[in-house]
Amino acid sequence: MEFGFSEEQLMIQDVARRIAQEKIAPSAEHHDRTGEFPLENIRVLGENGLMGIEVPEEYGGAGMDPVAYVLAMVEIAAGDAAHSTIMSVNNSLFCNGILTHGTEQQKQTYVRAIAEGAEIGAFALTEPQSGSDATAMRCRALKQADGSYVINGKKSWITSGPVAKYIVLFAMTEPDKGARGITAFLVDTTREGFGRGKTEPKLGIRASATCEIEFNDYVARAEDVLGQEGEGFKIAMGVLDAGRIGIASQAVGIARAAYEATLAYVKERKAFGQPIGTFQMTQAKIADMKCKLDASLLLTLRAAWLKGQGKKFSAEAAIAKLTASEAAMWIAHQAVQIHAGMGYSKEMPIERYFRDAKITEIYEGTSEIQRLVIARSETGLR
Q: Which of 116, 127, 361, 364 is catalytic?
A: 364
Cα(187)–Cα(218) distance, integer angstroms: 9
- C-alpha pair distances (Å), 352 with each of 71, 88, 236, 273: 22, 19, 31, 30
The H-or-E segment that residue 167 falls in is: strand 166-172
Q: How many whole angstroms from its chain centre is CA 293?
A: 18
Only one of the segments 23-31, 75-83, 120-128, 334-342 lies at the binding site for ligand CAA (rule: CB under 6 A); that segment is 120-128
Q: For strands 225-226 and 182-188, give the pairing.
A: antiparallel
* Interface segment toward ligand FAD; rule CB under 6 A; list 67-75, 175-183, 220-228, 367-375: 367-375
Partner that binds at residue 110, options ligand CAA, ligand FAD, none, CB closer than 5 to 8 Å by kind: none
Q: Which is nearer to ligand CAA, 11 or 372 (CB)?
A: 372
**φ, ψ at 212 (rounded to 5°):** -85, 145
Q: For this structure, is 214 an active site residue?
A: no
Q: Binding of ligand CAA at residue 75 (CB under 6 A)?
A: no
Residue 241, binding choice from ligand CAA, ligand FAD, none, Cβ under 5 to 8 Å by partner class:
ligand CAA
Among 159, 173, 189, 334, binds ligand FAD (CB under 6 A): 159
Work out whether 203 is an interface residue with ligand FAD (CB under 6 A): no
Q: CB atoms < 10 A from the CB of 112, how many?
A: 18
Please give the backbone phi and psi of residue 141, each rounded to the nearest 5 degrees, phi first: -115, 115
The CA distance from 370 to 312, in Å, is: 16
Q: What binding mask, one character per residue, do residues 331-370 give for ligand CAA by CB under 6 A, x or -?
A: --------------------------------xxx---x-
Residue from 123, 166, 215, 259 binding ligand CAA (CB under 6 A): 123
Report the sign of the C-alpha dihedral through residues 300, 373, 137, 326, in that order: negative
295 to 314, contacts with ligand CAA by CB under 6 A? 314
In degrees and rounded to multiples of 5, residue 165 shows phi and psi of -85, -40
- 89 touching ligand CAA, by CB under 6 A: yes
Please state whether beta strands 121-124 and 166-172 pair in parallel, antiparallel, or not at all (unpaired): parallel
Stretch that binds ligand FAD, among 185-193, 213-221, 225-233, 368-376 (CB under 6 A): 368-376
Q: How far is the C-alpha of 89 from the C-alpha of 85, rounded, in Å?
A: 6
Q: Which of 175, 256, 156, 268 is CA-nearest to residue 215?
A: 156
- CB-wise, 262 or 314, nearer to ligand CAA? 314
Compare residues 134 and 169 and give the one whose CB is closer to ligand CAA: 134
Q: How many residues bind ligand CAA (CB under 6 A)?
A: 25
What is the Cα–Cα distance from 366 to 381, expressed in whole angstroms?
20
Residues in the chain: 382
CA 316 to chain centre: 16
Of 12, 124, 163, 255, the one binding ligand FAD (CB under 6 A) is: 124
366 binds ligand FAD (CB under 6 A): yes
Size of the site for ligand FAD (CB under 6 A): 22
Taking residues 138 to 177 in sequence order and writing x for each that binds ligand CAA by CB under 6 A, - otherwise, the string is: ---------------------x------------------
Rounded Cα distance, 42 and 138, in Å: 33
Q: Which parts of this chain interact with ligand FAD (CB under 6 A)?
A: 89, 122-126, 131-132, 157-159, 202, 210, 359, 362-366, 368-369, 372
Indicate which residues carry an active-site annotation. 364
